[in-house]
Amino acid sequence: MARTTSQALTGFLQQRMQRGNISSTTLLFTFFCDVVTEHGGEIWLGSVIHALAPLGISERLTRTSVFRLIQDGWLDSRKKGRRSYYRLTETGEHYYRRAARRIYASHSPPWDGVWTLLFASMVDKDKRDSLRKGLLWLGYGSFAPGVYALPSSDVESLDELLKDLGLEDSIVKMQARAEPSTQEQGLKKLVLSRWDLDDLRRRFAEFTLQYRTAAGILRRKKQASGQLLLLLRVLMIHEYRRLLLHDPELPAIMMPADWEGHAAQDLVAGIYRSLAEPTGRWIGRELVAADGPLKKAPDLLQKRFPA
């Protein structure tokens, strides 16, 4: 007997939770970034529990995950009456904005040939790991001990990261261009030796294969519930974000032909656009903040994956 659309989508979501080794804490953070930020910024804990339940995340596990995010400085809480409400901290908001510039882009920005170079030898030992992780997310590669590089002249996200870490005066920042004679020869070899793309290619291909299955489910005549569609949206962005964490977004001139990351980006953008309206309706109907239903986000697709 053929499964309904909701049954098929539920099966897909449960499979991804198991095989994707999804942490409830990090998924909850993605939920706040993808959903709560664009719908008023604050949400009642009961709504979070309600929204995530079909993924097999229990009330107790949700409360534990929220507590961990508060302890780590990602969430703030306040009480109104007997209810607790949560929102991203300033640190969480800064991380979200930096991440959003990459996650919700419809295409990679053109490259002007400029490299940003960072010299981090003066950074204190207790902050080096946080800096390394932050730079990895922004796409920087390590060219040598204490030396990071990114093929981009845009330093807005970098400046935010250094400010959050209190490292504005501990980093030497430069911008440079390669000599034309080295652009496609020695430089390309150096870049590919510093960024391991083979494993990332495989992971992008696996992600694309999995979420093409989800796209096929969405093409069925009878649509699944708004809640299941929202969970698909959040889970997809969560898994895509984890891939981008390791993607340096190198210029096309330095990338292998037919890079799988481009297909993944197109697929995510297409699915997200199709989910924006039905998930927005469900959010406004089912999830609440202190002053009532979560606010609408009518300009969501102007900010995320613009056509």
CATH number, position 164: 3.30.70.240
Residues 162 and 31 in one domain: no
**Among the listed residues 243, 268, 239, the one whose alpha carbon sits nearest the alpha carbon of residue 21:** 239
Let me know if residue 185 belongs to a domain: no
- What pLDDT score was predicted for residue 237? 98
- What pLDDT score was predicted for residue 1? 40
Residues 130 and 76 in one domain: no
**Three-state secondary structure of 272-287:** HHHHHHHHHHHHHHHC
Q: What is the CATH number of the domain that holds 88?
A: 1.10.10.10
- What pLDDT score was predicted for residue 183? 56
User: Where do the DSSP E strands lie in 30-156?
Assistant: 43-44, 75-80, 83-88, 114-119, 141-144, 147-150
Take residue 306 and report the two structure tokens written for it.
């613009």
The neighbouring-strand residues paired with 141 are 149
- What pLDDT score was predicted for residue 255? 76
Residues 42 and 67 in one domain: yes
pLDDT of 62 strictly over 90: yes
Q: How far is 253 from 223, CA to CA, in rounded Å?
A: 41
CA atoms lying within 13 Å on the CB side of residue 156? 9
CB within 8 Å of 208: residues ≥ 6 apart: 260, 263, 264, 267
Let me know if residue 25 belongs to a domain: yes
Residues 90 and 207 in one domain: yes
pLDDT of 101 strictly over 90: no
Q: How far is 274 from 114, CA to CA, in rounded Å?
A: 36
- What pLDDT score was predicted for residue 185? 62
Let me know if residue 186 belongs to a domain: no
Residues 232 and 279 in one domain: yes
CB 66 within 8 A of CB 105: no
Q: Which residues span the domain enclosing 13?
A: 1-108+195-307
> For residue 89, which phi and psi values (nearest 5 degrees)?
-75, 175
> For residue 177, which phi and psi values (nearest 5 degrees)?
-120, 145
* pLDDT, tens only, 172-214: 999 988 776 665 567 777 777 777 788 889 999 999 999 999 9
Residues 212 and 150 in one domain: no
Residues 138 and 46 in one domain: no
- Using 50, 70 and 90 to split pLDDT, how confident is the model at 4? confident
pLDDT of 160 strictly over 90: no
Q: How far is 75 from 62, CA to CA, in rounded Å?
A: 13
Residues 278 and 305 in one domain: yes
Q: How far is 135 from 255, CA to CA, in rounded Å?
A: 20
Choose one of 177, 205, 223: the last residue of a domain: 177
Edge-to-edge strand ranges of the sheet holding 114-119: 141-144, 147-150, 114-119, 172-177
Q: Identify how many contiguous H helices and E strands the chain contains and give both numbers.
A: 12, 9
What SS3 class is residue 242? helix
Let me know if residue 93 belongs to a domain: yes
Domain count, the chain: 2
Residues 79 and 96 in one domain: yes
Take residue 130 and report the two structure tokens written for it.
């946080």
Let me know if residue 151 belongs to a domain: yes
* pLDDT, tens only, 122-156: 889 899 998 988 888 787 888 888 898 888 888 88
Choose one of 147, 177, 207: the last residue of a domain: 177
Let me know if residue 28 belongs to a domain: yes
Let me know if residue 187 belongs to a domain: no
How far out from the chain centre does Cα 131 lie?
18
Rounded to a whole number of angstroms, the CA Rg of the chain reads 21
Q: H-helix or E-strand containing 210?
A: helix 198-218
Residues 102 and 130 in one domain: no
- What pLDDT score was predicted for residue 77? 96
Residues 200 and 169 in one domain: no
Percent above pLDDT 90 for the chain: 53
What SS3 class is residue 59? helix
Take residue 33 and report the two structure tokens written for it.
């970034």
* pLDDT, tens only, 252-261: 777 777 889 9
- What pLDDT score was predicted for residue 184? 59
Residues 153 and 253 in one domain: no
Taking phi over 0 as left and psi of -120 to 50 as alpha, with beta for the rest, 172 belongs to beta
Let me know if residue 188 belongs to a domain: no
